[in-house]
């Protein structure tokens, strides 16, 4: 990830911010300059709920470069409490992962650009025990 | 020191990672007698940050818990200090990452503070002063560390991970606790250090106890009691910095403080020494259970060396805040044991490289 791209997405990655369309009311993630439903450009940044449930998951054992330390990990689709769906990964998994499992958003390291580059932080989901 | 205008604690919150490395497991790897180390240190195991955690991520979870209890808008946090001796970057503040993740700023003071294990309470002194002067309404002081000792060194048995955040604001009965006064006490003492190029810290042999920990902890605590006209039995809870499970008990004995006053805030036997977070995590555990009207003494210690000592009286407003976030013991009791190999992998002790390109 380039430095400008990382920086532009800090609100979405660090704070789980999405957008709400002022024309049709659609709430979506990730933030975009126009509404994915009605294409209106009249959108505002909103804080998404930090709790939700896993609607689908897959266990990843062959990771992209920079993610080796976290293997194996689950890539999941989480449906947040307001119905918005977010693609993410799970962390601190100690039991069985199931559809419908309740999770909460936590701030974690996502990857590192080698030993000299930026540390990329963002949101992961943790099972609520 | 007394603030010009009263200052209260509005929010508190901690984070301790779930992974535990036992003293017995470290002893096994280095060929030591496990029982002897456990007894000498009065520490059973230490908390270890996971592979995707560092001082910034732990500070964020602690800060989020503190904000939930304080019930203040993050935009009203006028200063945010992160005290740590394990910042993720050599150059780039941890505090701006933490502020951004918590929604604090952009109109906020933010800085990292460094003073070994005392860095968290340094931030507390600074935010108290800023609130008392009226320059800011609320301030957040965080202590967060992923401490590591050299492999096989006796510090490795206790150097642990954890974070605590304290939010202070103008004095109020509706807050959780109000500050009565504080004392800071420092001197140049070569008990523990790390040079720039060194990966692990060094310590002065036989220098960590008497001339370092006890002189500063007891010096600051005695001066605070004198300044406030209080005696040891006036405190319902006492929290000292806890590099192991023994030193706080010895300091209490020297000062005439009952060991029962230490009980709630003495966490190092269960989680090790969380460095800049250690004394304020003990304070956080006390705030999780204390009743209005009770008095709490907190004294930190940082090598190099110095102590900050504080006296707080619990306010009526504590009850309504307590259950708005996870408590220290919720984190302490959630434990997943790891072995030494996994510990090395988690904390960057294995050099990666090679393999298919
Ligand atoms: Zn729309």
Residue-wise pLDDT for A59-73, tens only, equals 999 988 888 889 999
Q: What is the pLDDT of residue B356?
A: 63
**What are the strands, taking DSSP E only, across A15-101?**
17-21, 27-28, 43-47, 51-60, 73-80, 85-89
- Looking only at Cα atoms, what is the longest distance across chain A? 46
Q: What does the alpha-carbon distance between residue B246 and residue B208 come to, in Å, rounded to a whole number?
A: 13
pTM of the full structure: 0.97
- The mean of the pLDDT values for chain A is 94
Q: What does the alpha-carbon distance between residue B237 and residue B258 come to, in Å, rounded to a whole number?
A: 10
Instruction: Decide if B357 is inside a domain.
Output: no
Instruction: Decide if B55 is inside a domain.
Output: yes
Of A28, A124, A8, the C-alpha closest to B57 is A124
| Buried b / exposed e along B257-292 (16+ C-beta atoms within 10 A) | beeebbebbbbbbbbbbbbbbbbbbbbbbbbbebee
Question: What are B55's two structure tokens?
Answer: 């001082």
Bridging pattern class, strands B177-186 and B19-22: unpaired
Same domain as B196, residue B166: no
Q: What does the alpha-carbon distance between residue B168 and residue B92 come to, in Å, rounded to a whole number?
A: 25
Cβ pair B52:A119 closer than 8 A? no
Instruction: Decide if B353 is inside a domain.
Output: no
Give the distance from residue B17's alpha carbon to the nearest chain A alpha carbon, in angstroms.
Answer: 9
Strand partners, A102: A53
How many contacts (CB atoms, under 8 Å) link A and B? Answer: 44
**What are the strands, taking DSSP E only, across B228-302?**
237-240, 295-299
Say if B334 is an interface residue toward chain A (CB within 8 Å). yes
CATH code of residue B91: 3.40.47.10
Same domain as B323, residue B268: no
Residue B155's contacts (CB-CB under 8 Å, 6 or more residues apart) are: B149, B201, B203
Cβ pair A107:B101 closer than 8 A? yes
CB B270 within 8 A of CB B45: yes
Cβ pair B56:A14 closer than 8 A? no
Question: How many Å separate Cα B143 from the centre of its chain?
Answer: 5
List where CATH 2.40.50 sits in chain A: 49-129
Q: What does the alpha-carbon distance between residue B255 and residue B238 come to, in Å, rounded to a whole number?
A: 11
Same domain as B261, residue B241: yes
Same domain as B170, residue B25: yes
- The CA distances from residue A65 to A89, B352, B356, in Å, are 16, 12, 11
Instruction: Decide if B356 is inside a domain.
Output: no
Instruction: Decide if B27 is inside a domain.
Output: yes
Same domain as B248, residue B138: no
Q: Of B45, B53, B61, B117, which residue is the catalytic one?
A: B117
Cβ pair B52:A109 closer than 8 A? yes
Instruction: Decide if B323 is inside a domain.
Output: yes
Active site residue B226: no
| Mutation choice for A interface testing from B20, B47, B49, B52 by most A CBs within 10 A | B52
Same domain as B198, residue B168: no
Give the distance from residue A18's alpha carbon to the nearest chain B alpha carbon, in angstroms.
Answer: 14
Same domain as B129, residue B101: yes
Total domains in chain B come to 2
Q: Of B45, B53, B85, B180, which residue is the catalytic one?
A: B85
Residue B97 has φ and ψ, to the nearest 5°, of: -65, -45
Q: What does the alpha-carbon distance between residue B107 and residue B123 come to, in Å, rounded to a whole number?
A: 18
Same domain as B258, residue B228: yes
Same domain as B181, residue B169: no
Instruction: Decide if B107 is inside a domain.
Output: yes
Q: Mean pLDDT, 10 residues at a time, over chain A (129 residues)?
A: 86 96 96 96 97 97 86 96 96 96 97 90 95
What is the residue-level pLDDT of chain B in tens, covering all 357 positions?
999 999 999 999 999 999 999 999 999 999 999 888 899 999 999 999 999 999 999 999 999 999 999 999 999 999 999 999 999 999 999 999 999 999 999 999 999 999 999 999 999 999 999 999 999 999 999 999 999 889 999 899 999 999 999 999 999 999 999 999 999 999 999 889 999 888 889 888 777 788 999 999 999 999 999 999 999 999 999 999 999 999 999 999 999 999 999 999 999 999 999 999 999 999 999 999 999 999 999 999 999 999 999 999 999 999 999 999 999 999 999 999 999 999 999 988 887 777 765
Q: What is the pLDDT of residue B96?
A: 98
Angle, in degrees to the nearest 10, between helices B119-133 and B278-287:
60
Q: What is the pLDDT of residue B357?
A: 59
Give the distance from residue A124's alpha carbon to the nearest chain B alpha carbon, in angstroms.
Answer: 10
Active site residue B241: yes
Instruction: Decide if B351 is inside a domain.
Output: no
Distance A19 CA to ligand 1 centre (A): 10
Cβ pair B53:A121 closer than 8 A? no
Distance A26 CA to ligand 1 centre (A): 5
Domain span at B322: 7-175+318-346
Same domain as B169, residue B42: yes
Cβ pair B52:A110 closer than 8 A? yes
Of the candidates B50, B61, B97, the beta carbon closest to that of A121 is on: B97
Distance B350 CA to ligand 1 centre (A): 49
Which residues of chain B are within 8 Å of residue A94 when distances are taken between CB atoms? 18, 336
- What ipTM was predicted for this assembly? 0.96
CB B319 within 8 A of CB A77: no
- Written out in words, the top-level CATH class of the domain with range A49-129 is mainly beta
Cβ pair A109:B61 closer than 8 A? no
């Amino acid at each position: 990830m380039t430095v400008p791209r990382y920086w532009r997405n800090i609100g979405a990655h660090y704070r789980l911010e999405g957008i709400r369309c002022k024309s049709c009311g659609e709430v979506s993630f990730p933030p975009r300059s126009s509404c994915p439903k009605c294409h209106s450009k009249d959108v505002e940044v909103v804080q998404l709920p930090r709790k939700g449930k896993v609607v689908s998951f897959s266990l990843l054992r062959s990771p992209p470069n920079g993610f080796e330390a976290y293997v194996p990990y689950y890539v999941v689709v989480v449906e947040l409490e307001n119905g918005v769906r977010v693609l993410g990964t799970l962390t601190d998994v100690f039991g069985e992962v199931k559809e419908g499992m309740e999770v909460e958003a936590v701030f974690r390291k996502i990857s590192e650009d080698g030993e000299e580059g930026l540390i990329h932080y963002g949101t992961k989901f943790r099972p609520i025990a | 020191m007394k603030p010009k205008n009263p200052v209260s604690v509005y929010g508190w919150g901690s984070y301790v990672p779930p992974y535990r490395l036992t003293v017995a497991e470290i002893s096994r790897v280095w060929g030591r007698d496990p029982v002897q180390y456990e007894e000498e240190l009065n520490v059973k195991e230490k908390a270890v940050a996971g592979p995707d955690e560092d001082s910034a991520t732990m500070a964020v979870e602690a800060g989020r818990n503190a904000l939930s209890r304080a019930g203040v808008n993050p935009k009203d946090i006028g200063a945010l200090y992160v005290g740590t001796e394990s910042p993720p970057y050599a150059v780039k503040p941890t505090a701006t990452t933490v502020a951004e993740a918590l929604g604090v700023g952009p109109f906020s003071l933010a800085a990292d503070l460094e003073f070994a294990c005392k860095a968290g309470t340094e931030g507390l002194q600074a935010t108290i002063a800023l609130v008392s002067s009226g320059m800011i309404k609320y301030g957040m002081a965080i202590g967060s560390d992923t401490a590591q000792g050299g492999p096989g060194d006796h510090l490795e048995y206790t150097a642990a991970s954890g974070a605590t955040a304290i939010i202070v604001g103008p004095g109020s009965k509706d807050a959780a606790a109000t500050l009565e006064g504080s004392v800071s006490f420092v001197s140049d003492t070569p008990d523990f250090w790390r040079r720039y190029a060194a990966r692990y810290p060094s310590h002065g042999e036989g220098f960590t106890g008497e001339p370092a920990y006890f002189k500063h902890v007891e010096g600051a605590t005695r001066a605070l009691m004198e300044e406030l006209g209080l005696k040891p039995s006036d405190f319902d809870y006492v929290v000292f910095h806890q590099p192991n499970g023994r030193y706080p008990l010895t300091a209490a004995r020297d000062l005439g403080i009952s060991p029962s006053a230490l009980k709630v805030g003495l966490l190092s036997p269960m989680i090790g020494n969380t460095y800049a977070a250690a004394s304020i995590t003990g304070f956080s555990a006390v705030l999780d259970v204390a009743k209005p009207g009770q008095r709490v003494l907190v004294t930190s210690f940082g090598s190099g060396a110095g102590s900050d000592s504080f006296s707080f009286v619990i306010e009526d407003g504590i009850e309504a805040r307590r259950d708005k976030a996870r408590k220290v013991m919720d984190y302490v009791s959630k434990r997943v044991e790891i072995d030494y190999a996994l510990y090395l992998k988690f904390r960057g002790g294995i050099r990666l490289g090679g393999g298919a390109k």
